[in-house]
Structure 1
Amino acid sequence: MAGIPSKLKIKLKKREEENSLRELPSSAVWIDFFSNDYLGLAQEPAIEREAEIMLKTYPKVISGATGSRLLSGNHVLYFDLENFICQHHNSEAALVFNSGYDANVGLFSSVPQRGDVVLYDELAHASIRDGIKMGNAQSYKFQHNDLEDLENRIKKIKSKSADLDIYVVTESVFSMDGDSPDLISLSALCVAHDCYLIVDEAHATGIFGQGRDLISDLGLSELVFARIITFGKAIGHHGAAVLGSKALKNYLVNFARSLIYTTALPPHSLAMVLSAYVHMNSNGQEAIRILQENIAHFKVEKKRLGLEDRFISSDSAIHCLILPGNEKVKQLALHLQSSGYGVKPILSPTVKAGSERLRICLHSYNTKEEISRVLQEIKSYLGQ
């Protein structure tokens, strides 16, 4: 087998020189402060049992999807899951994709048309950016969570042409910062300027609004053109869905290439997601309550230890300590890992150079003692 072209070798060498070369991690047993399993549903044996029982109630269940959703893969479980999601997340329609990446790529590459404009938060997820790049609309960044900058951009665009459609894109909880925009003011701004608001709810799904999402919690569902929810974080399994109108769902079925040209999820995956939702509704409210208590405890402890100014302000399960420099933040992460705490560094170019950070994810199964100890370990390492 031949090696790789020299141009690719140069790019890898550059990553090595910048101390930002990625490698797949090895399996390790740590106190979990790095996974997205916020409610512990990925570890819940009852969900597996409930899924197996559920599958037996459906006729002719096989292990594979056997084709795309438009061919042979649209198993009856898709209908049940999408109907459940509509009721649970207060949406007119839902369309399940294989992953959050597929959902964002399918939505953003197909919906904004040539001549339209997409305005997206400068810290929007890579899957959003990739989808926008694959489409034909013009796109511009606006400053992170800055509604004044966003409004100025909208006014400037509309002053040149009043006929085009403008899509405004943000996240309800940002994956690398853990913070949130002012969604109430943002939705009002989009209504006032006749813009289509799209919100990625990946890290809010299952946590806010009694296991729903942040848009539902704030009562803004009717003001949002599309939401993206994912099942790979707090729901503990795999896949994602776009929430919106029936007309939007019909459009995506016809034009979202990441849905049309890929094999569907197998029935077992759908049963696991649906079982996780049912389990969360009946038994998961306590886990949500404990997670919120752990978030509150983390915020109290970081203030008590004098670390508050080092962290980005967050009310979510994600808390990030800024420590500029890939080597510095990697060494801190390695120190914590050697002490038994699973905390991962976020390096440039994943984040902007100079904003490298330690990313701590909180869970319902973390104890308050573990939270206090990991923060004390960070304080001691930093010499505060």
Structure 2
Amino acid sequence: MTSSKLNQFLNENLEDLKSQGLYNEIDPVKGANGPIIHVNGKDLINLSSNNYLGLATDARLKNVAKQAIDSHGVGAGAVRTINGTLDLHLKLEEKLAQFKGTEAAIAYQSGFNCNMAAISAVMDKNDAILSDELNHASIIDGCRLSKAKIIRVNHSDMEDLRQKAKEAVESGLYNKIMIITDGVFSMDGDVAKLPEIVEIAEEFDLMTYVDDAHGSGVLGKGAGTVKHFGLQDKVDFQIGTLSKAIGVVGGYVAGKQNLIDWLKVRSRPFLFSTSLTPADVAASTAAIDLLMESSELQEKLWENSEYLKKGLSALGFDIGHSETPITPCIIGDEKTTQQFSKRLNEEGVYAKSIVFPTVPKGTGRVRNMPTAAHTKDMLDQALAIYEKVGKEMNLI
């Protein structure tokens, strides 16, 4: 017999979400997550994945992954600190440090784990964190886990950041103070003002922490937002994921050698969770090699991004102020947003609705993620469907 209180809680809250248009339906994909996906019995143009460079289905990475399974097995077999550190892990971490322009790097099981691990390993109840109000949920959770004082900063507002940094330092209440920001903000596609952030950090001797999940592989000739601004020597923590532009799974922290040494002995996901699989590690290393050797995939990504943005704007959609391939079509009302996404799906485009609590209420949007793997013909078809559905629903 299950708990009646639990059933009551679940049923009431699920119904509440559905009534507000906030319940998220999960659509399983049959086959690979490429530019065209097979969902619910039909092929759809995929504008919802984070597979920016098309590497998730790249034949070269698949071959490397297969070879790693043959040589190293399907699993690492242990946590990193016992005997789960394979030679492949060390090779990946050396490559990541080279890629990000840092002394060292440490790999984790996911980008989310990175933020849970790194923040709480360095910050505690005697410290303070200046956090951009639009930071990713994993940053928010990592900050909470650390028990540090969280000081919310208006989004990309450098005057607010400087004022709150000054107040925090002058209060004398905190041992350490850190500024945390996304490199690229995942819902709007805007880029953090890293030069100004670093300037403020240097003025007040604060730590800097950049989560570059959506910037790595996209900006800075692939090396990310920090490299884009030439600030590799000025940012203490560079966080990245191996599951977006890299096309595989996992995450990493890059920084000074002593930081990485500390995370290896004090970050809990590293200490208490089995390490990344051999196939994932080998494929990630191969992907980084590709990015370091050529900018062809980034150039194609940006070409497709500009083409889609121009097309959607010309149709009259509000695409916000994105500076990256992330291209929101901001609709507003949650139910309308979900209906718009549903109709796009029915017509042949998979573009998922994003509503509260992922974004503030009243700012629902369909988020488009063009990739290097899309063809112009695919994007033209998508734009034609956007026009048809947009006019049908009186959105344009």
**Range class of TM-score, shorter chain:** over 0.9
Match of 1:46 in 2: 60
- Rate the CA distance shift 1:122–1:38 in 2: closer, same or farther, 3 A: same
User: Which of 84, 98, 101 pairs up with 1:87?
Assistant: 98
- Is the CA contact 1:167–1:195 (under 8 Å) kept in the aligned structure 2? yes
Q: What code does the residue aligned with 1:23 have?
A: E
**TM-score after normalising by structure 2:** 0.90
1:230 has 2:241 as partner? yes
- 1:256 is displaced (CA, Å) by 1.0
The corresponding residue for 1:13 is: 15
Give distance in 1, aligned partners of 2:379 and 2:241.
Answer: 26
Match runs of 1:42-121 below 5 Å: 42-53=56-67, 61-121=72-132
Question: Which residue matches 2:35?
Answer: none
Report the alpha carbon displacement of residue 232 of structure 1 after superposing the two structures with TM: 0.3
Q: Is the 8 A contact 1:63 1:266 kept in 2?
A: yes
C-alpha displacement at 1:325, in angstroms? 1.8
Q: Give the whole-Å Cα distance in 2 for the aligned partners of 1:303 and 1:321.
A: 9
Q: For residues 162 and 138 of structure 1, what CA distance do their matches in structure 2 show? A: 10
Determine the C-alpha separation between the residues in 1 that align with 2:2 and 2:289: 50
Deviates more, 1:203-212 or 1:7-16: 7-16
Alpha-carbon distance in 2 for matches of 1:152, 1:332: 41
Contact 2:128–2:174 at 8 Å: present in 1 too?
Answer: no
Query: With structure 1 as the length reference, what TM-score do the two structures score?
Result: 0.93
Shift of 1:372: 4.2
What does residue 271 of structure 1 align with?
282
The amino acid that maps onto 1:49 is N
**What is the percentage of aligned positions where both structures have the same residue?**
29
Distance across 2 between alignment mates of 1:176 and 1:13: 26
Runs of 4+ off more than 6 Å: none
Aligned partners of 2:21 and 2:338 also within 8 Å: no
Superposition deviation, residue 72 in structure 1:
1.7
Aligned mates of 2:380, 2:65 — CA distance in 1: 36
Q: Is the contact between residue 129 and residue 148 of structure 2 (CA under 8 Å) also seen in structure 1?
A: yes
Tell me how far apart the structure 1 counterparts of residues 11 and 316 of structure 2 sit (CA, whole Å).
Answer: 44
Give secondary structure in 2 for the equivalent of 1:140: strand
Change (3 A) 1:280 1:254: same
Match of 1:325 in 2: 333
Does the CA-based 8 Å contact 1:55-1:271 persist in structure 2? no
Q: Residue 91 of structure 1 contacts residue 243 of structure 1 at CA under 8 Å; is this kept in 2? A: yes
**CA 1:161–1:344 in 2, change beyond 3 Å: closer, same or farther?**
same
**C-alpha displacement of 1:10:** 2.9
Greater Cα offset, 369-378 or 233-242:
369-378
Counterpart of 2:368 (choices 352, 360, 373) is: 360
Partner Cα distance (1:225, 1:155) in 2: 20
Matched, 1:196 2:198: no
1:208 & 1:181 partners in 2: Cα distance? Answer: 12
Structure 1 residue aligned with 2:197: 186
Determine if contact 1:295/1:315 at 8 Å carries over to the other structure. Answer: no
Report the counterpart of residue 24 of structure 2 in structure 1. Answer: 22
Deviation for aligned residue 1:279: 3.1
| Alpha carbons of structure 1 residues 145 and 376: separation in structure 2 relative to 1, 3 Å | farther
Amino acid at match of 1:234: A
- Does residue 208 of the first structure (1) align with residue 219 of the second (2)? yes
Partner Cα separation in structure 2 for residue 23 and residue 101 of structure 1: 22
Partner of 2:142: 131
Matched residue SS, 2:91: helix
After TM superposition, give the deviation of residue 373 of structure 1 in Å.
4.2
Counterpart contact for 1:34–1:343, Cα < 8 Å: yes
Instruction: Verify: 1:335 aligned to 2:358, yes or no.
Output: no
1:85 deviation in Å? 0.9
Which consecutive unaligned segments of at least 5 residues does structure 2 have?
30-38
Secondary structure of the residue that 1:287 maps to in structure 2?
A: helix
Could you tell me whether the CA contact under 8 Å between 1:305 and 1:376 is conserved in 2?
Answer: no
1:118 alignment partner, SS class: strand
Aligned alpha-carbon RMSD (Å): 1.9
> 5 Å matches for 1:305-324?
305-307=315-317, 310-324=318-332
CA offset at residue 379 of structure 1? 4.1
Query: What is the Cα deviation at residue 16 of structure 1?
Result: 2.2
Query: Any stretches of 5+ residues in structure 1 without a counterpart?
Result: none
- Once the 2 structures are TM-superposed, how far is the Cα of residue 339 of structure 1 from its aligned partner? 1.3
Aligned length: 378
Contact 1:30–1:342 under 8 Å retained in 2: yes
Q: Is the alpha carbon distance of 1:132 and 1:166 closer, same or farther for their aligned partners in structure 2, counting shifts above 3 Å?
A: same
**Structure 1 residue 297 displacement after superposition:** 1.9
Shift of 1:80: 0.7
Output one character per residue of 1:190-246: Cα deviation in whole Å (capped at 9) or x when no partner. 111211110010011111222211111221011101011111001100101001111
Distance change >3 Å, CA 23–CA 305, structure 1 → 2: closer
Q: Which moved more, 1:129-138 or 1:293-302?
A: 293-302
